[in-house]
Amino acid sequence: MAQGPYTDIVIDHFENPRNMGEMERADGMAQVGNPTCGDVTKIFLKIENDRIVDVKFKTFGCAAAIASSSMTTELIKGKTLDEALKLTNETVARELGGLPAAKQHCSVMAEEALRAAIEDYRKKQGK
């Protein structure tokens, strides 16, 4: 049963986050913060042959921020970098069963962290 403004899917990803943690020697890493609410997300990528073979995240924030990061990692694992770059915050929010309007920025933060981590990887590769 949904609690307050959050769907059961958001609650599940908050209480049982997927792929949480840090990754040593990540191929791509980025940290993005939202100064308005103080949330911070870090995404770590392990990449082989332009494909995301592993992903981890650490998020300091509310239930929506943690759930958005968790869902983002689930949606990009196994995808090519170009496929992962097509992921939008709207898709993340939809997969979570919707987010309250006041929490939409949480899915945006997850998307921005993903894009920045891929950019970090490509910079390291000289691309």
Active site residues: 37, 106
d(CA 92, CA 99): 9
Question: What's the farthest any 2 CA atoms get from each other in the chain?
Answer: 48
Question: What are residue 110's phi and psi, to 5 degrees?
Answer: -65, -45
> 3-class SS at 48?
strand
What are the strands, taking DSSP E only, across the chain? 28-34, 39-48, 51-60
